[in-house]
Structure 1
Amino acid sequence: MGAHRVVVLGAGYAGLAAATQLAGRVKGRGGVEVTMVDAAERFTERLRLHMSGTGQELAELSVPALLDGTGAHFRRGWVTALDTDAKAVRIEGDDPIPYDTLVYALGSVTDTASVPGAADHAHTLDGARGAAELAGRLGRLGAGATVVVAGSGLTGVEAAAEIAERYPATEVVLLGRAEPCAEMNRRAAAHVRAALDRLGVRVRAGVEVTKVLPGAVELAGGETVPADAVLWASGTRVAPLPAAAGLDVDERGRIVTDPALRSVSHPDVYAVGDAAAVRQGDRVLHGTCQSGMPTGVHAALSIDRALRGLEPRPFRFGYYHCPVSLGRADAVVQFTRPDGRPRRLALTGRLAARYKETVTASPWPTYARMTRMPASGAWWPRGGRSTRPRG
């Protein structure tokens, strides 16, 4: 009988956590092959895309190098389909990759399909290519140009602040249904608004963009806001691959999982990160690195237990903080209850910026520790609270 083949689709934070954790656990035992598949060899630091989108250079991080020494193998390829009957992954221009267990970690992308013109006329921060395209566009704009950031969530706030700081001669307009960082406590939210005001960002809350035009955005009610460039940061969706393969998905295309992070319709498929609809009590986790990496780790623990004939344990997670950058020297870190509600404690200013940088850089020592981890241990990355199974 051949080795048990585990294929991890997607080399993001959650996928790398799953691959390195599982490879470290089965290393030396034999009988298990771990293969990671991604369309690019360079790791995309999604937590820093608002920086690369303004032309700032980031470190070159190689996925094969990150996997070096773990026992996991990297295969570059663009996934075109999942064949759950044949238990194989279809790769563009290459032979299918068979699997016995699949970890789906291909994440999500900005939802540009729900508003006319967004896909054609707006930039996104979905990956390195989109960030480079936005940086190029911003670099060509002259003084007095207007950049509209559509979406007042954390991505929109960070991007608006970064653009305004990097290009002070540009007018930045942040549009959204809600006030920026309204989920934070009053002091933290006030600091965010004051920082945006200081940077010259014009905030318009309580508005909805209904159409993106070549040189403007249209709001509900018919008003248009001129724009020399538009960054779309409103909502996310999952690629149609899981739904097309027959997996049970929710209204956003995320794979519905059981407590162990297995697909409820296909238990040989695990879903982690943004692509998973993970229910915790009466809520579904929202996709962040904070929760994504622990889901990757837990999927690896679940697979390892199943391979040893044990029943996987349920995943439990609680949020710890909500950090948001406001340029390079300012930030807010809102500490939270496990369900995401804000606590009274929040950091602001330079101290918060240093904290945010530490959190952003934390995946790399995390992956390094996973590669050196003894098979009986478990290590959970900084950022959230999770259960710590013992084997």
Structure 2
Amino acid sequence: MSSTTTGQRIVVLGAGYAGLTAAKGAARRHAVTLVAPEDRLLHRVRRHETAAGRGRDWPAVSELTHGLPVTHRRARAVGLDPAARRVRLDDGTGLEYDTLVYALGSRTAWHGVPGAEQHAYSAERATELRRRIDTAERPGTLAVVGGGATGIELATELAEAHPRWKVRIVASGQVGGVYSARGRAHVRRVLARLGVAVHENTTVTEVTPNGLRTTAGPLGADVTVWAASLEVHPLAAEAGLAVDEHGRALVDDRLRSVSHPDVHVIGDAAAVTVPGAGTLRMGCATALPQGRYLGGLLAGRTTEPFAFRYVVQCVSLGRRDGLLQVVGADDSMRPTVFTGTAGRLAKAAIVTAVLHSLK
């Protein structure tokens, strides 16, 4: 422990955007134990590039925390006892804390669809998906389930990287339905240009080794990618923290659990409500500011409540195109969009800034 740190035991669960940022900020004043099984940053907003074989190794956690009093425990939290202020790890050991930062994020939700988890690749398995496509005897049909940003990015990236494959995107509602009319229209144009077949208002009822069963009939697929939605890890609810109907921990304006104030919850795992913005959606755009704020709060650099407002949403559309959608402070769509090269460069700049902020 450096001479500038206190004796307070701070444990951070999760080394994603929120957890890493909070750990680095808190380490300006405290010694921090960061618990995460990964040795490298999981650069989630670029998993579609990994799936298409265009990704690279992201920085090691040790590199991102170099020079700071942060101890990285490569383990997974499997139990939490708030009364004893103790975390149980999957290596059979435990950690006691004075302050806990819970930043376990979210994961792909399968929604109980038969065969989905067994026969589909989630974004978390992007490397396996890349190998499956690269080792196929011949090109086939690839189905992406999910019409949100993750599904759109995967469909466009894969279609561009593998033009001999037939790619289809399947959505229970509209593809890109969250965006403005101009934004949705641009997404549809790019999908058409890349030859991606669009199946909207089509709910998947089962995933099989040979494709999908849907409310609109069967759809063949040699490879299925599942990008329907996200869910939080159940650990917070299992430990008795107050959560909402989605399992996200309820927090106050300092990002403290409303039921256990010695536990701060940030990122996708937290239901953060901000005046003027509402309850924040999951994503890098909200996780990083929360981590930055909490790091400052724990280091004593701020005492103000957490504040946030939305500015834009962005989505990659292959390597040559993108969409930057201007939004209001409450994330409501505005008519203004930037597309094509401007949209691509804006998205690339934002993603690069994310990485630089972590360094």
Residues in 1 aligned to 2:152 and 2:329: alpha-carbon distance in whole angstroms: 23
Deviation at 1:59, TM superposition (A): 3.3
Residues in 2 aligned to 1:270 and 1:174: alpha-carbon distance in whole angstroms: 38
For these two proteins, the number of residue pairs brought into alignment is 353
Matching residue of 1:229 = 223
Moved more, 151-160 or 274-283: 274-283
Residue 322 of structure 2 corresponds to residue 328 of structure 1: no
Q: Which amino acid aligns with 1:14?
A: A
Matching residue of 2:98 = 100
Residues in 2 aligned to 1:50 and 1:81: alpha-carbon distance in whole angstroms: 31
Do 1:113 and 1:119's aligned partners in 2 also have CA atoms closer than 8 Å? no
Secondary structure of 1:123's aligned partner: strand
Matching residue of 1:372 = none
Deviation at 1:259, TM superposition (A): 1.6
What are the superposed Cα offsets for residues 79-126 of structure 1, whole Å, 9 maximum, x if unpaired?
A: 111121211111112421111000011100000143221111111012
Counting only pairs closer than 5 Å after superposition, residues 1-391 of structure 1 correspond to structure 2 as: 3-24=7-28, 26=29, 32-126=30-124, 130-220=125-215, 223-281=217-275, 283-305=278-300, 312-368=303-359
Residues in 1 aligned to 2:91 and 2:68: alpha-carbon distance in whole angstroms: 28
Unaligned runs of 5+ in 2: 1-5
Q: Which amino acid aligns with 1:261?
A: L
Do 1:115 and 1:210's aligned partners in 2 also have CA atoms closer than 8 Å? yes
Secondary structure of 1:242's aligned partner: helix
Please report the RMSD computed on the Cα atoms of aligned residues, expressed in angstroms.
1.7
| Percentage of matched positions with identical amino acids | 38
Q: Which amino acid aligns with 1:220?
A: T
What are the superposed Cα offsets for residues 10-51 of structure 1, whole Å, 9 maximum, x if unpaired?
A: 111111110111213x1xxxxx32111110111111011001
Moved more, 150-159 or 176-185: 176-185
Do 1:9 and 1:104's aligned partners in 2 also have CA atoms closer than 8 Å? yes
Deviation at 1:149, TM superposition (A): 0.6
TM-score by length of 1: 0.86
TM-score by length of 2: 0.94
Deviation at 1:60, TM superposition (A): 3.4
Matching residue of 2:3 = none
Do 1:108 and 1:238's aligned partners in 2 also have CA atoms closer than 8 Å? yes
Do 1:147 and 1:229's aligned partners in 2 also have CA atoms closer than 8 Å? yes
The alpha-carbon distance between structure 1 residues 291 and 60, as it changes in their structure 2 partners (threshold 3 A), is: closer
Deviation at 1:304, TM superposition (A): 3.5
What are the superposed Cα offsets for residues 110-156 of structure 1, whole Å, 9 maximum, x if unpaired?
A: 00143221111111012xxx111111111133545111111100000
The alpha-carbon distance between structure 1 residues 179 and 143, as it changes in their structure 2 partners (threshold 3 A), is: farther
Q: Which amino acid aligns with 1:207?
A: T
Deviation at 1:237, TM superposition (A): 0.9
Q: Which amino acid aligns with 2:280?
A: L
Do 2:42 and 2:58's aligned partners in 1 also have CA atoms closer than 8 Å? no
